């Protein structure tokens, strides 16, 4: 039995290897043909070598796309390699950006004097609070990092409180104010019940039920209606989470569609862009 399973496994691996080799060969052959075809007849305003390089880069992007999606079949070393390449590229890219977009214009240029401005050596002082963050790495001196974190936490908390109050209480648009919705609408000297009012009732019921689910100040069975409203609240929450899950699937599909669009239009050119 064990030998039969091993034989099946070996046969499957052999088939997989053949399929991978055939696909890789076809992909590489297409990229080479595409590159030399582009070099032979480059688009207007581009040199032959430029066109060849452009198509080479498109080919690399296509290989990366295919290899990353190969994970859907099963985990493999090519996928793992590209995953690491992506992480490495991101770190390199963001390190470069931190210097060129953040530290250089905001600190280094001011310190050394750029664009004809005199150097301002006071900017050297900024190094010390910056370095204090790194005491997180020392068990003995970690208290030094807490001093600088204290300033950040204090500023952040203060400003966030302001933001949250604005979000909830801004006149005319605040979340709390907008939660008070009319059950009836004034019309021609009287009151009528419209579809919007019906919507508002649903809105209020959902809010109260969900709030009651998170009400932990005393036992729910002490007030007769609470067990029912909190159960209903749980169902409403589940509907909400279901919606979020659905839109997540929608998002993932969009990513896949985008990659297929790239493969069909830019790489294989079977469709017009």
Partner 1 sequence: MKKPWYEWIQSIDRRIIYLVVFVVVSLPFFIKIKLPMRPSEPTENLYNKVEQIADYNKTSTKKKCIFFQMDWTPSVQAECWPQTEAMIEHCFMRDIPFIIMGWAPEGPMLTQTIAEKRAKEHGKKYGEDWVNFGYKPMNLPAFLAFIKDVYSQINQDTEGTPIRNVPVMQNVESIRDVDLIFHVTGSGGVEAWIQYLQPETGTDVATGCTAIIGPEMYPYLDSGQLIGMMEGLSGAAQYEHQIGYIGKGTRGSGSQNLAHFWIIAMMVLGNVGYLFQRKQEREEKQRLEMAGE
Residues that bind partner 1 (CB under 8 A): 72-73, 93-94, 97, 101-102, 155-156, 159-160, 162-164, 166-167, 170, 172-175, 177-178, 203, 240, 243-244, 247-251, 253-261, 264, 270-271
Nearer to partner 1, 200 or 212 (CB): 200
Q: How far apart are CA 213 and CA 233, in angstroms?
A: 6
- Least separation in angstroms between CB 260 and partner 1: 6
Nearer to partner 1, 98 or 138 (CB): 98
- Least separation in angstroms between CB 25 and partner 1: 21
- Least separation in angstroms between CB 188 and partner 1: 26
The residue assigned the tokens 């002082």 is: 125
Q: Please report which helix (H) or strand (E) contains residue 191, including its range.
A: strand 190-192
Nearer to partner 1, 109 or 227 (CB): 109
Our CA angle for 205, 207, 208, nearest 5°, is 65
Nearer to partner 1, 27 or 226 (CB): 27
Nearer to partner 1, 110 or 220 (CB): 110
Spatial CA neighbour of 148 closest among 170, 132, 165:
132
- Least separation in angstroms between CB 75 and partner 1: 13
Spatial CA neighbour of 262 closest among 18, 121, 76, 60:
60
Q: Is residue 273 within 8 Å of 266, Cβ to Cβ?
A: yes
Nearer to partner 1, 171 or 188 (CB): 171
Token pair listed for 273? 């862009």
Residues with Cβ within 8 Å of residue 181, at least 6 apart in sequence: 200, 203, 204
Give CA separation, 179 vs 14, 187, 197, 201, 206, in Å.
64, 22, 13, 11, 11
- Positive or negative, the CA dihedral 227, 230, 231, 232 is positive
In sequence order, the β-bridge partners of residue 190 are 187
- Least separation in angstroms between CB 242 and partner 1: 10
Nearer to partner 1, 137 or 255 (CB): 255
- Least separation in angstroms between CB 44 and partner 1: 14
- Least separation in angstroms between CB 213 and partner 1: 17
């Amino acid at each position: 039995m064990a030998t039969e399973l091993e034989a099946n496994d070996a046969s499957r691996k052999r088939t997989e290897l053949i399929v991978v080799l055939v696909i890789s060969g076809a992909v590489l052959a297409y990229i080479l043909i595409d590159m030399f075809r582009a070099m032979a007849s480059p688009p207007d305003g581009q040199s032959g070598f430029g066109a060849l390089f452009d198509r080479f880069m498109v080919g690399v992007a296509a290989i990366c796309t295919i290899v990353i999606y190969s994970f859907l079949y099963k985990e493999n070393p090519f996928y793992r390699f590209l995953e690491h390449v992506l992480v490495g590229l991101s770190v390199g890219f963001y390190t470069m950006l931190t210097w060129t977009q953040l530290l250089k214009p905001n600190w280094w240029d001011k310190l050394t004097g750029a664009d004809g401005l005199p150097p301002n050596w006071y900017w050297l002082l900024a190094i010390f609070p910056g370095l204090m963050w790194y005491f997180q790495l020392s068990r003995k001196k970690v208290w030094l990092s807490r001093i600088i974190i204290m300033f950040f936490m204090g500023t952040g908390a203060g400003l966030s409180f302001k933001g949250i109050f604005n979000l909830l209480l801004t006149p005319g648009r605040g979340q709390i104010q907008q939660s008070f919705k009319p059950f009836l609408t004034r019309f021609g000297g009287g009151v009528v019940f419209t579809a919007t009012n019906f919507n508002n009732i649903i809105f209020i019921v959902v809010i109260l039920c969900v709030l009651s689910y998170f009400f932990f100040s005393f036992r729910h069975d002490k007030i007769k209606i609470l067990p029912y409203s909190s159960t209903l609240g749980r169902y409403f929450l589940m509907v909400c989470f279901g919606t979020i899950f659905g839109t997540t699937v929608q998002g993932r599909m969009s990513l896949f569609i985008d990659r297929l669009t790239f493969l069909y239009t830019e790489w294989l050119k079977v469709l017009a862009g």
